[in-house]
Amino acid sequence: MAKDKKNEKKMPKYIFVTGGVLSGVGKGITAASIGAILKAKGYKVSIQKCDPYLNVDAGLLNPVEHGECFVTHDGRETDLDLGHYERFLDFETSKYSSVLSGALYQELINKERNGGFHGKTVQMVPHFTDLVQEKIAKASEGSDIHIVEIGGTVGDYEGLSFIEAIRLFANRVGRENCLYVHVVYVPWINTSKELKTKPAQNALKDLRGFGIIPDVVVCRTERPAPRAICEKIAAFSGIDKDAVLNLPDIESVYDVPFNVLKSGVLEILNKFVGDDKEPDMSKWKEFSRLRGKKWAKTVRVALVAKYVGNDDAYICVTEALKAAAAWEKVNIEIDWLNAEEMSDYEKADMDMLDTYDGIVVPGGFGDRGVEGKIRAAKYALEYNKPYLGLCLGMQVACIAAARMGGIENANSEEFGANEKDGNNVIYIMEGQVGKESTGGTMRLGDYPAKLKKGSKAAQAYGEEEVVERHRHRYEVNQKFLPEIEGQGGLGLVVSGTSPDGKLVEFVESPRCKFFVATQAHPEFKSRPLNVHPLFREFVKSLK
Ligand code: GLN
């Protein structure tokens, strides 16, 4: 790796990934795949996303529009790209891995208000661009290679200062320590049956206009493009033809690293890092083989949730289930059941649940569809149907158990339940009152839990002290534990708490084959090559 001349410290090398023509053509997956390949070559790789939104974090973004809100171990609410990064690189992103304009402006303005600029004019260049560079340097600490993805497309009005910042970054660390990768879309025009290179040429012209000549151009196409297409783009854009690569669509995102390898990028990466060691992709290959296979057994999972219609709203959950199924050698079908349509505990709904091998109730907020989720949990408890409850999924399970245990109107304070009725089995956590609609104030990120010896949770984890990520405001009111536990073993027992015992972290049914629910979000820590034990055990119980 590069050396810092002054103190001979190891310095990371940087890969900047930008996009042209349109967004949403797989820039993030390309960046993560490059990272996975470098990791497979033995490097310590980190990755970061810079997004020009004016939001401070992703916590208040609507998951129907933006997909899942991901949470880093240190409690930053980010967009789902960081989840892809963690899955591809099997590493933990941090609050430094997500850089949003809003947070940068907030930091600059706070500094200005506190007199931190000593009377100077505060400007986009150099103050904003310097801050972007500082964040990049910070996020890269301790890595051999640091990848930075810039959200949106080059030329977007709000993203210009990020492009300027990454251009300037080469002055800071040396151009030879930076690799610029530009991902462009090359459309297929059906009427004339040809691929059109003009938008890509224009996108490259835009990037050059900002002073960056890319080292790699990735042409995204729906089908494999003839080599002549890449060569044409190279010729018109003044880029070496071997640096213009084609990445056609592929069925599974987890096969993108293989596609990237096939594209010829390895030679460029080898030159950049200065070694030609073959990446060890054996675990990826094994995963790809297992995933691509048609197994004799198919398991069916009902995902009972509010956010139907956007598959990305629970992407970590579905990815964890699919990966667990591949390693457990079963096919998996995951159906979304709209919790709002299941509110009446109609027999038909329950008959439908019966057709599934297991139920997952994922996280969620607000009262929409909540009765349906409670009923799904009750059904699982009554009929010994494997159940995995994630955050809200644990809260509704406790409400269901308490209703079965005699508190007929058991509910959560979040759903407008009336405390006077003494029915708030789930209530707001200390210190959360009044913060219900403010960003970044939930109990966020890693917290430890102590598991009960011999519990299903402890057995699944293979240990009794675990750390999971969290994102919640409400908790189980332990005053109702007798009702939640119920009579005759029909209810739920607490199988994990915070180390001080104050907070319920895990509940389970000792009677059911698999009924484990947690206040945490284990899905954030599941990786395709290293599936989370709760997901693995849940899927195993469906076989
Ligand atoms: N709405 C619940 C709470 O805030 C659950 C949160 C979640 O599922 N992430 O406690």
Ligand 1 centroid to Cα of residue 130, in Å, is 37
First to last CA, the chain: 48
Contact 307 CB / ligand 1 (< 6 Å): no
Which of ligand 1's atoms lies nearest the C-alpha of 366? 1
Give CA torsion, residues 48, 53, 58, 62, to 10 deg: -140
Ligand 1 centroid to Cα of residue 92, in Å, is 22
Contact 39 CB / ligand 1 (< 6 Å): no
Which of ligand 1's atoms lies nearest the C-alpha of 475? 10
**Contact indicator for 505, 476 with CB cutoff of 8 Å:** no
**Contact indicator for 505, 461 with CB cutoff of 8 Å:** no
Ligand 1 centroid to Cα of residue 364, in Å, is 6
Ligand 1 centroid to Cα of residue 366, in Å, is 8
- Reading the chain (543 residues) residue by residue, the pLDDT tens digits are 555 555 556 799 999 999 999 988 889 999 999 999 999 999 999 999 999 999 999 998 888 888 899 999 999 999 999 999 999 999 999 999 999 999 999 999 999 999 999 999 999 999 999 999 999 999 999 999 999 999 999 999 999 999 999 999 999 999 999 999 999 999 999 999 999 999 999 999 999 999 999 999 999 999 999 999 999 999 998 899 999 999 999 989 999 999 999 999 999 999 999 999 999 999 999 999 999 999 999 999 999 998 667 888 999 999 999 999 999 999 999 999 988 887 666 777 778 899 999 999 999 998 889 999 999 999 999 999 999 999 999 999 999 999 999 999 999 999 876 666 679 999 999 999 999 889 999 999 999 999 999 999 999 999 999 999 999 999 999 999 999 998 777 899 999 999 999 999 999 999 999 999 999 999 999 999 999 999 999 999 999
Atom 5 of ligand 1 has which residue's CA nearest to it?
392
H/E stretch holding 469 reads strand 465-472
| Bridge partners, residue 516, by sequence | 388, 508
Identify the CA nearest to 255 among candidates 70, 531, 528: 528
| Bridge partners, residue 506, by sequence | 496, 518
Q: Which of 414, 425, 426, 433 to mutate to test the pocket of ligand 1 (most atoms within 8 A of CB)?
A: 414
Q: Which of 413, 432, 474, 524 to mutate to test the pocket of ligand 1 (most atoms within 8 A of CB)?
A: 474
Alpha helices in 210-346 (DSSP H): 227-237, 256-262, 265-273, 282-292, 315-327
What are phi and psi for residue 424, nearest 5 degrees?
A: -80, 80
Contact 523 CB / ligand 1 (< 6 Å): no
pLDDT of res. 3: 52
Per-residue DSSP letter, 225: P
pLDDT of res. 399: 97
Ligand 1 centroid to Cα of residue 165, in Å, is 37
Ligand 1 centroid to Cα of residue 485, in Å, is 21
**Contact indicator for 40, 412 with CB cutoff of 8 Å:** no
Q: Which of 303, 374, 392, 443 to mutate to test the pocket of ligand 1 (most atoms within 8 A of CB)?
A: 392
Angle at 80 between CA 77 and CA 83, to 5 degrees: 95
Which of ligand 1's atoms lies nearest the C-alpha of 414? 1
Structure-block tokens of residue 262: 């096939």
Ligand 1 centroid to Cα of residue 406, in Å, is 24
pLDDT of res. 323: 98
Interhelix angle 347-354/370-383, nearest 10 degrees:
60
Structure-block tokens of residue 431: 């210190």
Q: Which of 303, 395, 524 to mutate to test the pocket of ligand 1 (most atoms within 8 A of CB)?
A: 395
Which of ligand 1's atoms lies nearest the C-alpha of 470? 9
523 catalytic per annotation: yes
Atom 9 of ligand 1 has which residue's CA nearest to it?
363
**Contact indicator for 537, 517 with CB cutoff of 8 Å:** no
**Contact indicator for 216, 245 with CB cutoff of 8 Å:** yes
Per-residue DSSP letter, 530: B
Identify the CA nearest to 85 among candidates 61, 130, 50: 50
Identify the CA nearest to 139 among candidates 169, 115, 181: 169
Alpha helices in 328-463 (DSSP H): 347-354, 370-383, 392-404, 456-461
Rounded to two decimals, what is the model's pTM?
Answer: 0.94
521 catalytic per annotation: yes
Ligand 1 centroid to Cα of residue 78, in Å, is 16
**Choosing from 391, 398, 508, 512, which is the catalytic residue?**
391
pLDDT of res. 382: 92
**Choosing from 84, 182, 521, 532, which is the catalytic residue?**
521
